[in-house]
A and B are shown apart, each in its own frame.
Chain A
Amino acid sequence: MTLADVVFGLLGVVCLAAAILVVTSRHVIHAALWLVVCFGALAGCYLVLTAELVAWVQVLIYIGAVVVLMLFGAMLTRAPVGAVQQLDSGNRPVAAVAGLATAGVLGTLVVAAFRGAYVDIHHTAIGDGKVIGTSLFRFFVLPFEVASVLLLAALVGAIVLTKREA
C-alpha cells in the first residue's frame, strides 16, 4: 500500500460518490455541479497515473466547457431550479439492475484479469505537454487532423440545428 494507492483510492471514492449523486440528484443544476466534482477528482486520478496533460485538458475542456454547456442547455430548456420528481423515468429498478450488472461483470472481469498487475509510476515518463505533443505530432498526425475536421463539422451542425427558421 503506497502513497499513490491511498491518494488514488481517496480520489476514486470522491469521484464515485459524485458520479452517483450526478445520476440520482433531483436537481438538474445540482447534477451538473456534482459532475464538476466528479471530473475534478478524475483529473486527480489522471495526475496520479502520470498523465499530466490529460489531467489539465480534463479540467479545461470538461469542467470548463462541457459542464458550462450543460448548464446553458439546462437553462435554455427552462429546467426547473427546485427539486423535481419528474427527473427520473419509471424504469429506475430495471436501470439499477442493468447498471449493477454492468459494473459487476466489468469489475469482476478486470479484477480477475489484472489481479497482480502493478503500475510502476515512479519509472514512467511523465505525460506532460512535451512528451504527449511529440507523440501526437509524430505518430498521430492524421487522427489529429481528422479530429479537427470532426470538431468543425460538429460546430457547423450545432449552429445549423439551433438556427431559427426565417
Chain B
Amino acid sequence: MHLSMALLLSALLFGVGVYGVLARRNAIALLMAVELMLNAANLDLVAFDAWFKDTMHAGQVFALFVVVVAAAEVGVGLAIVLAVFRLRETVAVDELRQLADVDPPVRADT
C-alpha cells in the first residue's frame, strides 16, 4: 500500500487534534484532543517501520513507548484536573487565569 496514505491520515489527525486543543474549553475534552495528536505520531512511527522494513522494529517499539507515556500523561493530567476542580469548582481552562498577565477578554458568546 502507498506510504503517503498513512502519512496523510496522520497529518489530518494531527490537525484535528490541534483544533481540539485550541478550541475546547473543558479540560477533559482537551485531554482527548491531546490523545488524538499522540496517536497521529504513533501512526507515523508504525508506517515508517513498515516502509523501512526495520529489522530492529524500532518504529513499533517506539510506538509502544509513546503509548506508555500517553498513559502516564493521562493519569497525571486527570489528577491535576481533579485537583483544580476540587479547588475552583470548574474545569473550564479559560476561567483559570490566575497565572495570566492581562485582564480576561470579554467572551463573545456570553
Q: Residues of A at under 8 Å CB distance from B?
A: 2, 4-5, 8-9, 12, 15-16, 19-20, 22-23, 28, 31-32, 35, 38-39, 42, 45-46, 48-51, 53-54, 57-58, 61-62, 65-66, 69-70, 72-74, 76-79, 85-92, 94-96, 98-100, 102-104, 106-107, 109-111, 114-115, 117-121, 123-125, 127, 131-132, 135-136, 139-140, 143, 147, 150-151, 153-155, 157-159, 161-162, 164
A74 to B71, CA, bound (A): 17
| B interface residues, tally (CB under 8 Å) | 78
- Chain B contacts for A153, CB-based, 8 A: 72
- Chain B contacts for A65, CB-based, 8 A: 71
- Chain A contacts for B23, CB-based, 8 A: 23, 88-89, 91-92, 95-96
- Chain A contacts for B97, CB-based, 8 A: none
Asked if A57 meets B64 with Cβ closer than 8 Å, knowing A98-B19, A117-B3, A127-B57, the reply is yes
Asked if A96 meets B68 with Cβ closer than 8 Å, knowing A15-B9, A106-B14, the reply is no
**CB distance B79 to A161 under 8 Å?**
yes
- Residue ID in chain B nearest A139 by CB atoms: B56
What 0/1 pattern do residues 63 to 100 of B give for CB contact below 8 A with A? Answer: 11101111111111011111101100001111000000
